[in-house]
Amino acid sequence: MSARLIDGKATAARVLAEVAGDVAALKARGIEPALAVVLVGSDPASQVYVRNKVLRAGEVGIRSLEYRLGAEASAAEVLEVVEGLNADASVHGILVQLPLPAHISETQVLQAIDPAKDVDGFHSENVGGLSQGRPVLTPCTPAGCMRLLRDTLGDLAGKHAVVVGRSNIVGKPMAALLLAADCSVTVLHSRSVKPQRLCGQADIVVAAVGRPRMIDADWIKPGAVVIDVGINRIEDDGRSRLVGDVDSDAVQPVASAITPVPGGVGPMTIAMLMHNTVTAARQQHSPSAQE
């Protein structure tokens, strides 16, 4: 068997086309969806991501605003930017690019974002709502993974899903979404005992550990669907290139389908950010919206 490659770029293009239609419908009602991206410091990878987000927003008709602060900016300065954006009714989505410099508490900044504008879904109000099964703004990377899984497998009920990694931005919300889709869910992490054996029982594997090519064929049940969230830059023969958390060459003969890196989950993350921005704009202008 050789795994089918799950084309995240093509699926992201379909999501973005839907979003562009939703944006046009909102504009016809006089609402221009707007996304603010806040970048603190000059991490080169973060700069690339922020640029890609701004480009995608423009393509679907979302207005974007960029706020750049120096690496030495204080927490108070970042909070002031966030509070200004909270108060600005023309801004519907706020994303503070992570990681923040070490001297700034990420939790404090994320909790300062108005939950209605929290297009990353990282505020505890949205984290709690996801856990309760309320229709809240949902973290973009796990939401993108769910879309790829549904397109590949259809109904996910009863599938055994193994999530490798327990971060707040991917592993934990991913487990919550899989559970909401009626999967049986196992979360593995750095203290798990015999993780290969547990992972080898999975119909669905979501790898989000941030270790290049950690998951090899020994971890994968024949026919499993593998979602590789990792984006690791490595030196290979003196050249820099991107690899996932999955050893794709080793796993492809075993899995039934796998996402490539690049071109898998990454483009979906950005597409779901645009989707969340439109959802946030629509909700802020719905009759039931507070204030």
Decide whether 231 or 258 has the Cβ nearer to ligand GUE. 231
Neighbours of 161 (CB within 10 A): 25
Neighbours of 217 (CB within 10 A): 15
Question: Residue 287 contacts by C-beta under 8 Å, 6 or more apart in sequence?
Answer: none
Whether the CB-CB separation of 101 and 71 falls below 8 Å is answered with yes
Position among 142, 144, 173, 266 found at the interface with ligand GUE (CB under 6 A):
266
Whether residue 53 lies in the annotated active site = yes
What is the spatial distance between Cα 25 and Cα 141, in angstroms, rounded to a whole number? Answer: 25
Q: One of 22, 114, 120, 203 is an active-site residue; which one?
A: 120
Position among 36, 62, 91, 95 found at the interface with ligand GUE (CB under 6 A):
95
The CB-of-149 to ligand GUE minimum distance in angstroms stands at 17
Place of tokens 């060459």: 249
The percent helix, strand, coil of the chain (3-state, each to 5) is: 45, 20, 40
Q: One of 53, 117, 159, 172 is an active-site residue; which one?
A: 53
Decide whether 106 or 221 has the Cβ nearer to ligand GUE. 106
The CB-of-264 to ligand GUE minimum distance in angstroms stands at 6
Whether residue 172 lies in the annotated active site = no
Q: One of 22, 97, 159, 172 is an active-site residue; which one?
A: 97
Position among 22, 35, 36, 49 found at the interface with ligand GUE (CB under 6 A):
49
Position among 1, 13, 24, 48 found at the interface with ligand GUE (CB under 6 A):
48
CB burial of 249-273 (b: ≥16 within 10 Å; e: otherwise) equals eebbebbbbbbbbebbbbbbbbbbb
267 binds ligand GUE (CB under 6 A): yes
269 binds ligand GUE (CB under 6 A): yes
Binding mask 105-124 for ligand GUE (x = CB under 6 A): ---------------x----
What residues from 204 to 263 belong to the interface with ligand GUE (CB under 6 A)? 231, 242, 261-263
Neighbours of 192 (CB within 10 A): 15
The CB-of-8 to ligand GUE minimum distance in angstroms stands at 7
What is the spatial distance between Cα 180 and Cα 239, in angstroms, rounded to a whole number? Answer: 42
Place of tokens 């009920």: 157
What is the spatial distance between Cα 147 and Cα 10, in angstroms, rounded to a whole number? Answer: 12
* Interface residue list for ligand GUE (CB under 6 A): 48-49, 52, 95-98, 120, 140, 231, 242, 261-263, 266-267, 269-270
Annotated binding site for NADP(+): 165-167, 231
Catalytic positions, written as ranges: 53, 97, 120
